[in-house]
Amino acid sequence: MADPVIIGSERSEAGLPAGMEVLRRGGSALDAVEAAMRRCEDNPADHYVGTAGLPNAQGVVELDASLMLGSGRQFGAVAALKGYPNPISVARAVLERLPQHSLLVGEGAALFAEECGFTTADLLTDASREQWRKQVTDSKEAVEGENTAATDGDQRYRESALSLIRRLAPHDGPWGTINIIALDATGEMCVGVSTSGYPYKYPGRVGDSALPGAGNWCDLRAGGAACTGRGELSMRGGTARTIVDLIAGGQDPAEACRAALADAATLPDEFRSELRALALTPDGRHGGAAGQEGSVYVLMTEASTEPESRPRVVL
């Protein structure tokens, strides 16, 4: 059996040490992913997940999150959830306490969170409100990936969002996602994904982070995979599931991620922007891919004292 390991996308560094601490104590992959993701969701400096996530076109923060287990492919998710700072924990409650369902959205997801006793919070911080206001002006900055250049698709998306915002007359007041995958000492795997989705998205828009096969897939026979970036592309590409299928067919994790992203890149898309992926196998191999140079993923083993960066292969 492989040693425990936890990997994550850019900005998961805020949570991976907590996840590895769970794994070191012999805890489950599910506990590790939840613990790690909650730290990320609670990080006020991160404007792509949880508290301080960037809002929709009406200035309201709506969160998507999911968890998938490798052994039985159990899946729990929430989408367009308002007012609850840790959607990953509500997704876990769907998985464990509502096994007759896999995905709750909007008001139903909030009702379930309330029934489960989760605490509400105001998710739009002063900093995220200010960033939202700044970003709705024309900008050449990238939306996803703080250190990458905006693509034409990013720019078209921004222009379209501005027009949408004007049309929806928002009240007063870089999309991104975090992926975390863990392998525990018993050999179980869990994939977690959490996001505030596209800034300025149409209210009610659900991305790939809440959808099995698109942004999240875990199958202990081959591995787990997750995506960040333009969710509409990974939905159409079935990208996370494609990666795991390619691993099952013999490809290594990095090459499987690259091939699945290459497939998604063939799809026509007026709003094209980058998609990234990462994957982990039950024997502890891992890899990632991205559309641009300089992208990394991070990992911790039991020997790690802090998260270590690894380069993603480039399309």
The binding site for ligand GLY (CB under 6 A) comprises 175, 177, 195, 197-198, 207-209, 215, 228-229, 231
Least separation in angstroms between residue 145's CB and ligand GLY is: 12
- Specify the residue for token string 């949880």: 50
Q: Is 152 annotated as a binding residue?
A: no
Q: Is 208 annotated as a binding residue?
A: yes
Least separation in angstroms between residue 125's CB and ligand GLY is: 20
Q: Is 230 annotated as a binding residue?
A: yes
* CA 233 to centroid of chain Cα atoms: 14
Q: Is 283 annotated as a binding residue?
A: no
Catalytic residue among 51, 177, 239, 281: 177
Least separation in angstroms between residue 23's CB and ligand GLY is: 26
φ and ψ at 79, to 5 degrees? Answer: -145, 150
Least separation in angstroms between residue 206's CB and ligand GLY is: 8
Strands 177-183 and 189-195, by their bridges, are: antiparallel
Closer by beta carbon to ligand GLY, 202 or else 306: 202
Closer by beta carbon to ligand GLY, 76 or else 229: 229
Nearest to 231 by CA among 168, 162, 167, 157: 157
Q: Is 231 annotated as a binding residue?
A: yes
Closer by beta carbon to ligand GLY, 5 or else 175: 175
116-119: list long-range contacts, CB under 8 Å, 24+ apart.
116/90, 118/84, 118/86, 118/89, 118/90, 118/93, 119/84, 119/85
Q: Is 138 annotated as a binding residue?
A: no
First to last CA, the chain: 32
Closer by beta carbon to ligand GLY, 209 or else 281: 209
- Specify the residue for token string 């029934």: 115
3-state secondary structure of 191: strand
Report the DSSP beta bridge partners of residue 254. Answer: none
Closer by beta carbon to ligand GLY, 24 or else 205: 205
Amino acid at 210: A
- Specify the residue for token string 């425990």: 4
Give the span between the Cα atoms of 236 and 247, in whole angstroms. Answer: 20
Least separation in angstroms between residue 255's CB and ligand GLY is: 22
Q: Does the annotation mark 177 as catalytic?
A: yes
Give the span between the Cα atoms of 284 and 270, in whole angstroms. Answer: 37
Most distant pair of Cα atoms in the chain: their distance: 56
Q: Which residues are annotated as a binding site for substrate?
A: 205-208, 228-231
Question: Annotated catalytic sites, by residue?
Answer: 177
